[in-house]
Structure 1
Amino acid sequence: MSAIPHLTTAAGATEHRPLIITLFGLFVVATLIITVWAGRQTKDAADFYAGGRQFTGFQNGLAISGDYMSAASFLGIAGAIALFGYDGFLYSIGFLVAWLVALLLVAEPLRNSGRYTMGDVLAYRMRQRPVRTAAGASTIVVSIFYLLAQMAGAGVLVSLLLGITADGGKIAVVALVGVLMIVYVTIGGMKGTTWVQMIKAVLLIAGTLLITFLVLLKFNFNISALLGQAAEHSGKGAKFLEPGLKYGKDSLSKLDFFSLGLALVLGTAGLPHILIRFYTVPTAKAARKSVNWAIGIIGAFYLMTIALGFGAAALLNRDDIIKSNKAGNTAAPLLAQAVGGGPDSTGGAILLAVISAVAFATILAVVAGLTLASSSSFAHDIYVNVIRKGRATEKEEVRAARWSTVVIGAVAIFLGALARDMNVAGLVALAFAVAASANLPTILYSLFWKRFTTQGALWSIYGGLISAVGLVLFSPVVSGKPTSMFKDADFYWFPLENPGIISIPLGFLLGWLGTVLSKEKADPQKYAELEVRSLTGTGAH
């Protein structure tokens, strides 16, 4: 079976573009209507932050799936597999295995111990103002790193659809996504965001199922034939299906792979936009059920990334994928166009539009969740409990959350424009590394270590945060390579693309060291209360 030749970055023939734009616009309008409807039901802070805690385990599991299966999952992983074969699929494995850590260690205790944010859990045992400031700073930084990936994905996706090739046009697309994100969160709050995430999860699974079916149909449902042609057509032969094409060429790349794996597996349990989803259910049982549903849905999706990535390698020209986007982020939409009949067919145009709309839904749902997490943390942790010292009204708190949404959105637009040509899966891996370095050690120590103190929490959060972000700034991700954020600059000295192997152990070490060197004594009574509350849910919310 031959490859589909010469797919264009202009998303097919020009005469199909009105159809593509129409289908694309329908989704945006539908989600805006849902957001306005949900916004009218948002009465107080509990509604804005936690959706009134009215969602069932299944609904929250669906929303978690929608929140978790980001542009990295749909666009980045498909592109990574299409370009690097087996090594690209390692992202799928890492993202899925990470859920076991979230389920076993943090899902239920966190839901029982907090109210709206991670800072609530830490402040229960520690001095409120310093730990809430640290938790808020960490949440905002992790969210912005994650937002970079979504913005980059949105830029390449809509540029592909509209045939935009100029950098100015791509930057305008990133700005448009940022504005929509701000509207979703400021109007709809958690209720609007959750419904958008649920709808997006259904659309994403349905769209991925359709593409998987059509890809396998071309190979008579023979996965071996699919993998064989992908390997042959990649130009790499059998090496395409073996470890080492991207990671494993030398000891440094093996170390980078280990660092990436560590960040992926441990990062999920520290991601703010995932953690706040556990507060939207009424009981601990519902929290467990929602994670179980999420694992099933997410697991099914990541299995299908085999068809997306290897299907793109088998049916598309590698040069066309790279020409469309250097990091491979457009492989999945181009594959949809190919299996629909090609770039000049109505079927190809329709399928490209549908899959691109699904990908855009994916991006909007995730950016809304991320922005909500960071604005909630700023308003609840920093504004209410640090700046206003607990004296702000709920109305003032929600207003502060909405204004912080605008500011965070503006920062995300600016940084997303700089990151528009980077692989979104790699960018998300950086967010995972920062979350695992700063948030996870502090959460685990707070929940399970009786001696843990405020100083230990501060050392852990700031130490993990500064080391992870600092190493990224001086890594090839930012400068020194053609794929870097600043292509023409060269100031990197840290050789790895992911800092997890250094920053994650350092976060745990600093949390322990800060505690044992602290003159402050932990309150055993507070820990006993937190332990009972985290394990039983007694007194939660």
Structure 2
Amino acid sequence: MPTTGNPVLNLSVFAVFVLITLYIVYRASSRNVTASDYYAAGSSFTGAQNGVALSGDFLSAASFLGISGGIAAHGYDGFLYSVGWVVAWLVGLLLIAEGLRNTGRFTVGDVLAFRMKQRPVRAAAANATLVISFFYMIAQMAGAGGLIALLLNVTSKWGQAILIALVGMVMVLYVLIGGMKGTTWVQIIKAVLLLLCVTLMSVFLLGKFGFSLSAIMQQATENNQLGEAVLDPGAKYGFSAMSKLDFVSLALSLVLGIASLPHVLMRFYTVPNAAEARRSVVWATWTMVIFYLCTLVIGFGAMALVGTDKIAAAPGGENSAAPLLAFEIGGEVLLGLVSAVAFATILAVVAGLTLAASASFAHDVYANVIKRGNAEPRREIRVARLTAVVVGILSIIGGIAANGQNVAFLVSLALALAASANLSTILYTIFWRRFNTTGTLWSIYGGLGSCLVLIIFSPVMSGVKTSIFPDVDFAWFPLGNPGLVSIPFSFLCGFLATIFSKREPEMAAKAAEMEVRAISGIGART
């Protein structure tokens, strides 16, 4: 097992960061009085601030640990995650950001229920949000467990499980204390630190090799069993026609999934108007471009200086590439700093996810379905906090089960779920007047249900040595990512259900009003 420096120093750097950010969250949360304050920070952030926070919300363990590890292990094929996630923001900018901000208030359910029957649609949107957030949080918890295990040199499964549980409890604290305002400031701080971290590491690595990326790649091929083949397409997805199809499915999920994630969509409500929402996406996109270019350097740098075999043998497997590279080039201090930034990355994302899940249940189900829009704000916030605890416990259990899986791949499953359940529904709601309540329900449940079934019966869960349950085999769906099937299926379900169901003439006026709001911003909720 690789040596990772002084655990006391590593934990000290980590603990200082946690204490500082907890204090910031506590200070920012002092004005969480109304539901708008707790869920949307009172729509008080600028486009630039929200754009950096958006990048902080999305630049998760999958991005920093998973993609760096994927590149270190699979070269070109690992970098495809970066390309997909940068391109994906164009979907959010061109199709979703403005219309969503103009027609919603706190959650995806607000947008859908604007012109549909409230109770069934809000319940469906909340169910989808909870499932998507759960899958995404599993990836973050697994990444956190591997990271802390690396810091403390913990190799036993039970020891790593305890670490995941402790990390999960700390993360839930941020949501309970801070709400959206506190979470946003943590995400801004974390995004700035992460960008500084990867930029400085990339510049140092390039300088070490005479500012030649080719030199890094050449040495990298010498430390990978695949040799120069790792620089070409197909190291992971090119062995058969089915693996190539799996890559197409993965790419579709990456490009369409980001703009459908509940915690990303919720960010558009923290700005005062649609113009600032668009500005947010522009800022987020440029931040992503810089970050993902750096992951290319870090991934191949880890392959060159650490070696693929050493990375695979470390606690956390591929997810340990960036921390091990930090230790290789900067010793214990840099490892502690990089690990603290990586943990901040996970912490901020999980806080955003937990907030989205708890807000969806408290606002859509409790306040608007159970209480029929008559819930007291303080009681609604209390329900949201209780939901955050429950979601946190479930994600800890899931993170323990998925420990050791590449977190970038695990997140791609959450993206497939998000695109399957939310994308078709949101686009139909904003742009198709004929779309109705029946179509909405079929689109959400058809996409979400098909995606879940295909994941359960895929090689992700069983049948191969890299599965979550490798000792059993109940897989019949051949693709690792179901997006190629479930995303078009959700569009088809929504279309057919709308065409073959009765029109809702009472909703026609609402559809017209929503179209005007989505395009012009007139009458948008604040």
- Which TM-score bucket, shorter chain as reference? over 0.9
Counterpart CA distance in 2 for 1:287 and 1:102 is 10
Alignment-derived partner of residue 318 in structure 1? 308
2:242 pairs with one of 244, 252, 257: 252
Contact 1:10 1:162 in 2 (8 A): no
Q: Cα offset for 1:319?
A: 1.4
SS of aligned partner of 2:319: coil
Secondary structure of 2:318's partner?
A: coil
Partner of 2:475, secondary structure, is coil
Which residue of 2 is the match for residue 4 of structure 1?
none
> Equivalent residue for 1:469?
452
Matched, 1:460 2:443: yes
Q: Does 1:424 align with 2:407?
A: yes
Matched AA of 2:306? L
* Equivalence for 2:339: 356
- 1:219/1:225 contact within 8 Å kept: yes
Aligned residue in 2 for 1:415: 398
Cα 1:29–1:154 shift into 2, 3 Å: same
**Unpaired stretches in structure 1, ≥5 consecutive residues:** 1-7, 341-347
Q: 1:479: which partner in 2?
A: 462
Equivalent residues of 1:185, 1:368 under 8 A apart: yes
Q: Distance in 2 between matches of 1:456 and 1:130?
A: 12
2:416 aligned partner: 433
RMSD: 1.0
Kept after mapping to 2: 8 A contact 1:80/1:327: no
Measured at CA, do residues 18 and 327 of structure 1 come closer, stay the same or move farther in structure 2, by a change above 3 Å? Answer: closer
Q: What is the TM-score with the length of structure 1 in the denominator? A: 0.96
Match of 1:524 in 2: 508
Task: Please tell me whether residue 333 in structure 1 is matched to residue 316 in structure 2.
Answer: no
Instruction: State the AA in 1 paired with 2:484.
Output: I
Partner of 1:3: none
Corresponding residue of 1:343: none
Q: Take 1:212 and 1:422, find their aligned partners in 2: how far apart are those partners?
A: 25
Deviations 1:309-328 (A, max 9, x none): 11111111221100114640
Q: 2:260 aligns with which of 270, 274, 289?
A: 270
User: Does 2:131 match 1:141?
Assistant: yes
Instruction: State which of 86, 106, 129 in structure 1 corresponds to 2:96.
Output: 106
Q: Are the counterparts in 2 of residues 472 and 478 from structure 1 also a CA contact under 8 Å?
A: yes
Structure 1: distance between partners of 2:442 and 2:169: 36
Moved over 2 A (4+): 520-524
1:238-281 C-alpha deviation (Å, 9 max, x unpaired): 21110011012110001100000000000011100000000000
What corresponds to 1:169 in structure 2? 159
The equivalent residue for 2:233 is 243
AA aligned to 2:87 is V
Residue 390 of structure 1: aligned partner: 373
Report the Cα offset of residue 525 of structure 1.
1.6
Q: Which moved more, 1:374-383 or 1:476-485?
A: 476-485
1:11 matches 2:1: no
Q: Does 1:61 align with 2:51?
A: yes
Matched, 1:35 2:9: no
Q: 485-494 vs 501-510, which deviates more? A: 485-494
Confirm or deny: 8 A CA contact 2:149 2:316 kept in the other structure. Answer: no
Aligned mates of 2:379, 2:11 — CA distance in 1: 39
Q: CA deviation at 1:17?
A: 2.3
Shift of 1:526: 1.2
Task: Confirm or deny: 8 A CA contact 1:94 1:265 kept in the other structure.
Answer: yes
The total of aligned residue pairs comes to 524
* Structure 2: distance between partners of 1:235 and 1:249: 16
In the TM superposition, residue 520 of structure 1 has moved relative to its aligned partner by: 3.4
Q: Secondary structure at the match of 1:486?
A: coil
Paired with 1:179 and 1:18, the residues of 2 have a C-alpha distance of 21
How far, CA to CA, are the matches of 1:62 and 1:433 in structure 2? 24
SS at match of 1:328: helix
What SS is found at the alignment partner of 1:492?
coil
Match for 2:397: what amino acid?
F
What CA distance in whole angstroms lies between the structure 1 residues aligned with 2:497 and 2:28? 44
CA distance in 2, matches of 1:326, 1:411: 21
Question: CA separation in 2, counterparts of 1:158 and 1:39?
Answer: 28
In the aligned structure 1, how far is the partner of 2:179 from the partner of 2:37? 7
Q: Calculate the TM-score normalised by the size of structure 2.
A: 0.98
- Preserved contact between residue 79 and residue 329 of structure 1 (Cα < 8 Å): yes
- Asked if 1:375 is matched to 2:365, the reply is no
Listed one character per residue, the Cα deviations across residues 454-507 of structure 1 (whole Å, up to 9, x for unaligned) are 000000000000000110011111111221111222111111100001100000
Please list the CA deviations of residues 200-234 of structure 1 after superposition, one character each: whole Å capped at 9, or x if unmatched: 00110011011111211210101111111112321
Moved more, 528-537 or 58-67: 528-537
The one-letter amino acid paired with 2:49 is Q
Q: Which moved more, 1:17-26 or 1:520-529?
A: 520-529
Structure 1: how far apart are the matches of 2:471 and 2:227? 33
Could you say which residue in structure 2 is the equivalent of 1:221? Answer: 211
Instruction: State how far apart, in whole Å, the 2-side matches of 1:473 and 1:10 are.
Output: 37
**Structure 2: segments with no counterpart, 5+ residues:** none
The code of the aligned residue for 2:425 comes to T
1:536 equivalent in structure 2: 520
Distance 2:356 2:172 in 1: 13
Alpha-carbon distance between aligned partners in 1 of 2:439 and 2:299, rounded to the nearest angstrom: 43
Q: Shift of the alpha carbon at 1:536?
A: 1.8
1:74 is aligned, of 64, 70, 83, to 64
2:489 is the alignment partner of 1:489: no
Look up the equivalent residue of 1:540 and give its one-letter code. A
Shift of 1:10: 4.4
State the distance in 2 between where 1:491 and 1:53 align: 47
